[in-house]
Structure 1
């Protein structure tokens, strides 16, 4: 159950951070307005809180693992929201990152 909880938190964190960054991008770069930017800032703040809910107590481990989730999640976001089509190297890199996440977060550790 702890692994499942951790995975759900990684997905929620990815939605908050990637969604927040996308909102800022849309608000500023695509000139949709400051309300989009403000919503993005709030979502980015929510990401920071979601990360604290991870069962592991090590900030460095959580953030390092989340980096891999961010890479894969960003490609998925781009596909779903912006019509981006990743090539085989994008996908290969994302899989490598997710394997890294699994090793960092869920490898058995001695006491």
Structure 2
């Protein structure tokens, strides 16, 4: 359940923030900001579904997922292909997220 929750949270956060971007920076109607607000609420709900003992650890690991999802958004929606540095950075972020979330912890 963790990976689907992370992916759903990332999609909602990116789309929600893009709604505000479109309204404030691209001159779209205010309905874009309203939709963005609804998506950001969904983001918060999905993020609380992450399997982790602490919120901070779940949020820190989410950062890596968010970075990769943002690059995917950039490619799919904004039609700007990530370059090798984007991909290397994303790989490092996913490695860091995995270490944070999946490492064995002592009690």
- TM-score, normalisation: structure 1: 0.91
Question: Structure 1: any 5+ residue segments left out of the alignment?
Answer: none
2:91 is the counterpart of 1:67: no
- List, as ranges, runs of 4+ consecutive aligned residues in structure 1 with deviation greater than 3 Å: none
Q: 1:7-86, aligned counterparts within 5 Å?
A: 7-86=3-82
Q: Tell me how far 1:45 sits from its aligned partner.
A: 1.4
SS of 2:77 mapped into structure 1: helix
Distance 2:67 2:50 in 1: 19
Distance 1:41 1:57 in 2: 28
Distance 2:97 2:5 in 1: 13
Aligned pairs, how many?
107
2:89 is the counterpart of 1:93: yes
- TM-score, normalisation: structure 2: 0.94
User: Considering only aligned residues, what root-mean-square deviation do their CA atoms show, in Å?
Assistant: 1.0
The structure 2 residue matched to 1:104, chosen from 100, 103, 106, is 100
